[in-house]
Amino acid sequence: MSTIYDKLNDKQKQAVFTTEGSVLLLAGAGSGKTGVLMHRIAYLIEEKHVDPYNIMAITFTNKAAKEMKERIGKLIGEEGNFVWVMTFHSSCVRFLRRFIDKIGFDNSFTIYDSDDQKTLMKKIFKEHDINTKVYKERAVLNIISSCKNELMSPSEYMKSAVDSYEKGVARLYEIYQSTLKKNNALDFDDLICRSVELFEKCPEVLDYYQDRFRYIMVDEYQDTNTAQFRLIYLLAQKYGNICVVGDDDQSIYKFRGANIENILSFEDRFENVKVIKLEQNYRSTGNILDAANAVIKNNRGRKDKSLWTEGESGENIELRQFQTASEEADNIIKDIRDRARDNFRDFAVLYRTNAQSRLLEERCVTLGIPYQLVGGVNFYQRKEIKDVLAYLKTIANGNDDIALLRIINVPKRGIGATTIAKVSEYANENNISLYDAMSISEMAGVGKASDKIKSFITMIEEFREKVAQKANIANLIEELLDETGYIESLYDEGEIEGESRKENIDELINKSGEYEDGELSLFLEDVSLVADIDRMDENADRITLMTLHGAKGLEFDTVYLAGMEEGLFPSAMSSNSREDLEEERRLAYVGITRAKKNLILTSAKQRMVNGETRYSLMSRFVSEIPRELLNKHVLDTEKRYTERSGSFGGELPWETKTPVNNNFEKTLSFGKQFKVEKAQSLDYAVGDTVKHIKFGVGKVLEIVDGDRDFEVKVNFEKFGIKKMYAGFAKLVKI
């Protein structure tokens, strides 16, 4: 008798049937890990008779969670609806929305996005007269985020501070947190941290969720940070049935706080761990997998595994170098036009930095090629959308000063900056919210503006009453727009601009139609947690332009990896440490394994960066791919491409206009080119002002005499704190 498990390979079956205790599934790219998770859930329910209510599956994106829910439903029907399938952040919102009052917040808390955080920090800087030449809002917020990822409180960061700058950041961190609490607001990092705090301070709440989630599965485990690890660790302690799925070779989010040690040391943190490797790939051709394996094996900080396929070897990887970045972009888009034949959805161009998208977009527009840019301006970050959401947030949570400040005079209603400053001062003096201060505005000395403020407060209160009566959200938004005259104000910027913004608001109203009457808080939660990847339309017949970081989890028939140049990919800053360089290599591995049938690597000898022409060598990652897997292309005098197949031999793979060393190894060898002799001493010291060719002017905070080179920490006026090796940085004292 056939079953739903018959089509699984032996390793996949082992992963599905190993249900008890701690399990680590090392799932290589394209190895069918999502299918394994879904079959594992089905097996628990149908064969082990586990109540779906007791199963938790956690992932990182709404897109992945939605796919999981759909696939579970197809496997086991309606029972799948009772399995907890959510992202980390959505799960924590549910925990906190129910129990956050136990740790001193109101359950109607607001979630701040990155723009809200920056607005709040700017307000703190102004109120506390912070020196903006020393402290940068974004730099301070980045440090705070890093602290939260590591579950480090303001007081703990203060204890670890090594200089006056870090002590200043610690004080700002403390003020930031207290202001968030005053506003009854949480930022994204708080959703995890406060959930951990809730579980650690309230054993009865933890016990409730431990009993609820007796079988826990975590997807993309290599992307978890310390706080997320702690959250999962606490939930799994009672029953010990924890299964994590991940690939250390695809750990590429260190800049967001991801800690690769979570997956590398999983066997040390949990008892009697069973390790199962999923190495058979169902996505890419053999040559693409061989290239990926060859590149990633150069990393030392990884668990040994190798992708393989029963499928065909496929075409060789194409390798192209251009004189300029403009020629590179032109060739890529024309090549897609010639290959696609009106089937553009199968093509993607991936790149290291967002700045690379401009030339590609321009060529798409010029040539009339349909495209979607993933990672551009988020729909929910557009001004008109932020304005409408700020109104809704104010209605839902009167303590949210940031939302209120955004819309108090939008559209203009005669409540100017002077009035707002007086009310803010009154609110601070009396330790109340801005909304509460406005509700008693006659006490704030605002004079003639008092009537206008009262009118605004009355309007908000009327809408709150409608929410309490479970009003339809779409109708609520439309009434709000009509009451405030917001739509009319959009056309003050011009008819075309106004119409475009109105269309965006119409789309928001369409989105709100997905929610039941009275679910305003749920609507606000969901839109605050949407990522760029969730908005991508995989069915649209357009080529996809996106960064390599954004591409993880996706696949395309044909992939172009653009900008394969030293200093760009790997980035120049990654040369400072082995760990950073290995993360860049993992990013290359992710890019390579997005391709199913065709992979094209491109680079430019010269590229404009910050208004200057940069000359670059081919990326070292190209040299790590075996020559027999590559087809080289040579630029002829008419700038058309001709293909040369076969091995490179000793011949340089690209035509050039200037004499070069005609030895492949030497051209793509980096040992000598990146070797830096350590200086005996430096001509600058802690406290000196120095200049960097890229980051500009800054103050030296710390110098550490390392084995390889002096490690220098500098606070740059425009870029915040950077750590670098002196030999690479070439800092000049001024």
Q: How deeply is 69 buried, as exposed, middle or buried, from its count of CB atoms within 10 A (0-12, 13-18, 19+)? A: middle
Report pLDDT for 441.
53
**Which residue reads 């699984």 in tokens?**
8
Report pLDDT for 644.
45
Q: Residues 24, 179: contact at Cβ < 8 Å? A: no
More confident residue, 62 or 706: 62
CA distance 440 to 444: 7
- List the end-to-end C-alpha distance of the chain, in Å, as a whole number: 80
Helix (H) or strand (E) holding 605: strand 595-609
Report pLDDT for 610.
56
**Which residue reads 């979570």 in tokens?**
262
State pLDDT tens for residues 77-94.
888 889 999 999 999 999
Q: Is the backbone of residue 342 left (phi > 0), alpha (psi -120 to 50) or beta?
A: left
Amino acid at 648: F
Annotated binding site for ATP: 27-34
Tokens of 169: 């950041």
Tokens of 390: 């700020």
What predicted TM-score, i.e. pTM, was given to this entire model?
A: 0.75
SS3 assignment, position 553: coil
CA distance 523 to 516: 9
Q: How deeply is 77 buried, as exposed, middle or buried, from its count of CB atoms within 10 A (0-12, 13-18, 19+)? A: exposed
Q: How many CB atoms lie within 10 A of CB 366?
A: 10
Report pLDDT for 361.
86
Give Rg (Cα) of the chain: 28
State pLDDT tens for residues 240-268.
999 999 999 999 998 888 999 999 999 99
Helix (H) or strand (E) holding 295: helix 286-296
Residue 313 pLDDT grade (very low, low, confident, very high; cuts 50, 70, 90): very high
CA distance 379 to 398: 25
Report pLDDT for 636.
38
From the candidates 220, 335, 346, 387, give the one annotated as an active-site residue: 220
Q: Which of 229, 235, 286, 233 has its CA nearest to residue 262?
A: 229
Mean pLDDT taken over the chain: 86
Q: How many CB atoms lie within 10 A of CB 671?
A: 7
From the candidates 113, 116, 137, 219, give the one annotated as an active-site residue: 219
34 carries an active-site annotation: yes
CA distance 252 to 258: 8
CA distance 205 to 99: 8
From the candidates 406, 594, 607, 713, give the one annotated as an active-site residue: 594
Burial pattern 208-236, b for ≥16 Cβ within 10 A else e, equals: ebbeebbbbbbbbbbbbbbbbbbbbebbb
More confident residue, 444 or 568: 568
If you average pLDDT over residues 403-429, what whole number do you get? 89
CA distance 546 to 531: 13
Report pLDDT for 648.
36
If you average pLDDT over residues 24-51, what whole number do you get? 94
Tokens of 494: 């011009």
Q: Residues 581, 569: contact at Cβ < 8 Å? A: no
Helix (H) or strand (E) holding 632: strand 630-635
> If you write DSSP's letter for every residue of 167-214 in order, what string do you get?
HHHHHHHHHHHHHHHHTTEEEHHHHHHHHHHHHHH-HHHHHHHHHH-S
Q: Residues 190, 198: contact at Cβ < 8 Å? A: no
Judge whether residue 352 has pLDDT over 80: yes
Q: Residues 393, 463: contact at Cβ < 8 Å? A: no
Report pLDDT for 378.
58
CA distance 452 to 457: 9
Amino acid at 235: L
CA distances from 272 to 23, 36, 44, 217 (A): 9, 21, 20, 17
From the candidates 250, 285, 309, 419, give the one annotated as an active-site residue: 250
- DSSP symbol at 442: G
Report pLDDT for 522.
87
Judge whether residue 634 has pLDDT over 60: no
SS3 assignment, position 135: coil
Angle at alpha carbon of residue 119, lines to 116 and 125, rounded to 5°: 140
If you average pLDDT over residues 629-643, what whole number do you get? 57
Judge whether residue 537 has pLDDT over 70: no
33 carries an active-site annotation: yes
> If you write DSSP's letter for every residue of 249-291 in order, what string do you get?
GG---GGGT--THHHHTHHHHSSS-EEEEE-B-SSS-HHHHHH
CA distance 117 to 191: 14
Q: Which of 312, 280, 291, 332 has its CA nearest to residue 593?
A: 291
Judge whether residue 597 has pLDDT over 90: yes
CA distances from 401 to 124, 165, 226, 424, 444 (A): 12, 28, 30, 9, 16
Tokens of 111: 């979630």
From the candidates 11, 12, 33, 119, give the one annotated as an active-site residue: 33
CA distance 15 to 29: 16
525 carries an active-site annotation: no
State pLDDT tens for residues 555-584.
999 999 999 999 999 988 887 788 999 999
If you average pLDDT over residues 96-118, what whole number do you get? 92
Judge whether residue 640 has pLDDT over 80: no
Helix (H) or strand (E) holding 603: strand 595-609
From the candidates 14, 34, 323, 353, give the one annotated as an active-site residue: 34
State pLDDT tens for residues 293-309.
999 999 998 999 999 99
594 carries an active-site annotation: yes
Range name among 44-58, 62-76, 498-512, 521-535 with the lowest pLDDT average: 521-535
User: 164-182 and 114-127 are packed helices; what angle lies between their axes, rounded to 10 degrees?
Assistant: 110
Annotated binding site: 27-34
Q: Is the backbone of residue 687 left (phi > 0), alpha (psi -120 to 50) or beta?
A: left
Tokens of 229: 């690890």
Q: Which residues contact residue 703 at a Cβ distance below 8 angstroms, ignoring those fewer than 6 apart?
A: 682, 685, 686, 710, 711, 712, 713, 726
Helix (H) or strand (E) holding 425: helix 417-429
CA distance 338 to 540: 19
Which residues face 477 on adjacent strands?
A: none
Report pLDDT for 653.
40
Amino acid at 160: S
CA distance 682 to 685: 7
